[in-house]
């Protein structure tokens, strides 16, 4: 019995000693000026069926946080501890990931896609953990809760292109006939919502029963769906990711529909990967909407972003998805900076970061990479500007300046 008592006492003494040592280490670190890190969650579909988008986006997040920590010293001396996780464009994995963000006390989180944020948002809203998606859909932000869209959503894309088309391309009498080809998740649903809300006012005819199609991310041909369209269709609008977008366009070419009709894409599918996957000759003349500048544009953040991209992930150079995720990381860090400034680093919780950081964003300039970022009560889109592009000689060329996407109330 005495031996057992001594063993217990020994264990207790060891625990006390460990606690004293940890306390001493903490005091020493504080005296040395080392500050506690600020933890955020980040998730991209870097593998799986949309890896052509998710991989460069994940690289950009990691590269930008490396730049912030190593060259800028983090936020007020606090390093950014980014818990980056690959969701594989799998909803079940996304749910596991957001639960981990909650359990590991992340102060906020970022996601690449609307589809994965759709899977995460219920848990995030329930736990009052704010997050924002690089690419969003109206279902994420309406009604407004704790989820935000970094850029204009897929509905805004459709509205911006539809107005451009009516003002600059359509020359015929009567109403142009438009068909929609949509990814079978929130990426496609957002475009449909906007078309249902705005086509009639813009003077565009869409037969929502017969001219609207859904496809999976793994589609290999869409000739069957396209053959059901009338011969006098004028516009085919695609809201999808690059690989299926390329398949839809190839199918239209095989059927002799294109060139001939106008084809346009929402920003989820409109990147340099579309040219690679579809072939420059196939996608020549295709229009698209995208919320960032082009590589090489003369904006303040371009040089540093280009330096890191070419040093660590040179294969991503030229892909605009890298740009939007670099900007995403800049926004996340600015939210933390504002929260530290307004509330103090020792007082940070997810709720404080949202109230004193995210909701204090006002005209934050992401180095000119996309439109200014602001929180507007009732409108959880943070940036509200897009540009219309066209593919010319295999290059995505902007053909408009920044177009502000007005708020569309879907409720």
Residues 23-72 pLDDT 10s: 444 444 444 468 999 999 999 999 999 999 999 999 999 999 999 999 99
Residues 260, 399 within the same domain: yes
CATH of the domain at 193: 3.40.50.2300
Number of H helices, E strands in the chain: 14, 13
pTM recorded for the entire structure: 0.87
pLDDT at 22 over 60: no
Conformational region of residue 78, where left means phi above 0, alpha means psi within -120 to 50, and beta covers everything else: beta
pLDDT at 200 over 70: yes
Residues 230, 357 within the same domain: no
Q: Is residue 185 part of a domain?
A: yes
CA distance 79 to 75: 6
Q: What is the bridge-based pairing of β-strands 212-215 and 287-290?
A: unpaired
**Is the Cβ–Cβ distance between 116 and 94 less than 8 Å?**
yes
- For residues 116-122, give the mean pLDDT: 98
CA distance 5 to 12: 11
- For residues 137-166, give the mean pLDDT: 97
- For residues 299-319, give the mean pLDDT: 98
- For residues 273-302, give the mean pLDDT: 97
CA distance 155 to 381: 12
Q: Is residue 131 part of a domain?
A: yes
Residues 140, 233 within the same domain: no
Q: Is residue 97 part of a domain?
A: yes
Residues 224, 337 within the same domain: no
Pick the range with the lowest mean pLDDT from 24-38, 338-352, 353-367, 380-394: 24-38
**Is the Cβ–Cβ distance between 118 and 149 less than 8 Å?**
no
Place 106 in a pLDDT band, splitting at 50, 70 and 90. very high
Place 12 in a pLDDT band, splitting at 50, 70 and 90. very low
Helix (H) or strand (E) holding 354: helix 350-356
**Is the Cβ–Cβ distance between 264 and 285 less than 8 Å?**
no
At residue 350, the pLDDT reads 98
Q: Which residue has the higher pLDDT, 134 or 27?
A: 134
Percent above pLDDT 70 for the chain: 92
At residue 19, the pLDDT reads 44
Q: Is residue 132 part of a domain?
A: yes
Residues 202, 271 within the same domain: yes
Q: Is residue 81 part of a domain?
A: yes
**Is the Cβ–Cβ distance between 135 and 267 less than 8 Å?**
yes
Which residues, 6 or more positions from 366, have their beta carbon under 8 angstroms from its beta carbon? 301, 327, 330, 331, 372, 373, 383
Pick the range with the lowest mean pLDDT from 272-276, 363-367, 401-405: 401-405
- First-to-last alpha carbon distance for the chain, in angstroms, is 72
pLDDT at 150 over 70: yes
Residues 141, 47 within the same domain: yes
Residues 182, 273 within the same domain: yes
Residues 270, 164 within the same domain: yes
- For residues 361-379, give the mean pLDDT: 97
pLDDT at 20 over 50: no
At residue 33, the pLDDT reads 63
**Is the Cβ–Cβ distance between 199 and 205 less than 8 Å?**
yes
- For residues 383-399, give the mean pLDDT: 96
Per the structure, the complete domain to which residue 374 belongs is given by 38-152+295-380
Residues 302, 283 within the same domain: no
pLDDT at 119 over 70: yes
pLDDT at 9 over 70: no
pLDDT at 325 over 50: yes
Q: Is residue 9 part of a domain?
A: no
- For residues 235-249, give the mean pLDDT: 98
Q: Is residue 237 part of a domain?
A: yes
Q: Is residue 117 part of a domain?
A: yes
Provide the number of structural domains found in the chain: 2
Residues 187, 46 within the same domain: no
Residues 130, 250 within the same domain: no
- Among residues 93, 153, 95, 102, which one has the least CA distance to residue 120? 95
Place 411 in a pLDDT band, splitting at 50, 70 and 90. confident
Pick the range with the lowest mean pLDDT from 1-15, 135-149, 275-289: 1-15
DSSP conformation class of 293:
-
Residues 134, 237 within the same domain: no
């Amino acid at each position: 019995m005495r031996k057992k008592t001594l063993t217990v006492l020994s264990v207790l003494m060891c625990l006390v000693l460990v606690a004293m040592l940890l306390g001493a280490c903490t005091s020493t670190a504080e005296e040395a000026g080392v500050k506690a890190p600020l933890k955020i969650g980040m998730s991209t579909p870097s593998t799986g069926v949309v890896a052509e988008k998710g991989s460069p986006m994940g690289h950009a997040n990691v590269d930008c946080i490396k730049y912030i920590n190593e060259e800028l010293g983090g936020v007020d001396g606090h390093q950014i501890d980014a818990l980056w996780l690959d969701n594989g464009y799998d909803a079940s994995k996304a749910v596991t990931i957001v639960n981990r963000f909650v359990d590991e006390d992340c102060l906020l989180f970022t996601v690449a896609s609307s589809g994965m944020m759709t899977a995460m948002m219920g848990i995030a809203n329930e736990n009052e953990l704010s997050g924002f998606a690089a690419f969003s859909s109206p279902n994420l932000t309406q009604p407004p809760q704790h989820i935000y869209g970094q850029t204009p959503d897929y509905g805004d894309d459709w509205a911006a292109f539809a107005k451009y088309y009516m003002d600059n391309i359509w020359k015929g009498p009567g109403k142009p006939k438009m068909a929609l080809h949509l990814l079978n998740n929130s990426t496609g649903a957002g475009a449909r919502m906007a078309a249902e809300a705005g086509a009639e006012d813009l003077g565009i005819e869409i037969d929502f029963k017969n001219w609207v199609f859904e496809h999976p991310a793994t589609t290999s041909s869409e000739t069957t769906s396209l053959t059901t369209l009338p011969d006098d269709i004028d516009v085919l609008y695609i809201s999808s990711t690059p690989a299926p977008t390329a398949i839809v366009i190839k199918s239209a070419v095989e059927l002799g529909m294109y060139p001939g009709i106008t084809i346009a894409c929402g920003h989820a599918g409109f990147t340099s990967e579309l040219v690679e996957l579809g072939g420059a000759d196939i996608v020549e003349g295709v229009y698209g909407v995208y919320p960032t500048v082009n590589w090489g544009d003369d904006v303040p953040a371009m040089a540093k972003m280009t330096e890191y991209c070419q040093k660590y992930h040179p294969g991503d150079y030229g892909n605009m998805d890298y740009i939007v995720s670099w900007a995403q990381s800049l926004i996340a860090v600015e939210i933390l900076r504002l929260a530290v400034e307004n509330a103090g680093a020792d007082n940070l919780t997810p709720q404080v970061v949202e109230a004193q950081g995210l909701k204090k964003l006002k005209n934050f300039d992401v180095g000119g990479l996309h439109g200014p970022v602001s929180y507007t009560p009732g409108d959880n889109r943070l940036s509200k500007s897009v540009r219309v592009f066209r593919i010319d000689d295999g290059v995505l060329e902007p053909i408009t300046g920044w177009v502000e996407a007005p708020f569309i109330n879907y409720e």
